[in-house]
A and B are shown apart, each in its own frame.
Chain A
Amino acid sequence: MKFEDAVKKSIKAFMNGKIPAATNELSEEGIFHTPAYFDELEEEMLSEDNDEEIVDEDV
């Protein structure tokens, strides 16, 4: 398997909500950058943009 193929496989797994299980078990808290974290980040970043647009329109 080429590096690019492994990268694609990894991306596909992450998009399907899978996380590296062994890495997750390394610490008690588990890993921080999970698919759920990125979902929240996306909401925050996109909502910030919408807020800015609304403020601009008001001005």
Chain B
Amino acid sequence: MKMFDFPIAGANYAADTRNYPWHRPPDIVSYDEGVDYLIRKMNEPEELELVYALLKIDTHVATVVSAILMQGISRGKFSIDLAILMAGPLARYIGIIADEQEIKYDMGLNEENRVVITPTSLKLALGIFDDDEEEDPDEIVEEAVTNSEGGLMATPTDAETASEEEQAAMLGLSTDEEEEEPVDGLA
């Protein structure tokens, strides 16, 4: 029955939060054991391929290290504190294997060298060249003002404006207008 198809109020208080890997005691608690585990993991072909690919697209080593450590923490392999301690050795090892493969890399530790991403730099990186940007903006504004054609709310030009006589005639104020004689001569 659909009536009972929802959580019982207060069920969250009775749930076993130890179901998450990071809520249980970690598998590795020793620094050296943890670094050994990471080095062994880094030597797996799949992991190596991924790291090489990331470094080749100019990903910083610090970013790669963060991702690998986060993965270990989420799987309950080691604690957050131990992960931070192991970041240095892991980054150093990644640097060594990158040198071995002659891959240029950046540790990503200097904020000064950080490349600020702007719309222009993104366009250049993607090979998008906008020719309209070179036009003088004043000319564009002038064109917009002179080309006032179209639209009900547009400013009327002289050709569109009725003369004063026409306007008076439309309002029924004209006195010069001769009254037309009726065709049947009944008047």
Contact = CB atoms under 8 A, between A and B. Distances in A.
Interface in B49-97: 61-63, 65-66, 69-70, 80, 83-85, 87-89, 91-93, 96-97
Contact of B62 (A8, A33, A35): A8
Contacts of A31: 31-32
B28 interface: no
A14 B89 CA distance: 7
The A contact surface, by secondary structure, is: helix
Nearest to B35: A33
B87 A10 contact: yes
B107 interface: yes
A41 B96 contact: yes
Contacts of B99: 42, 46
Nearest to B108: A8
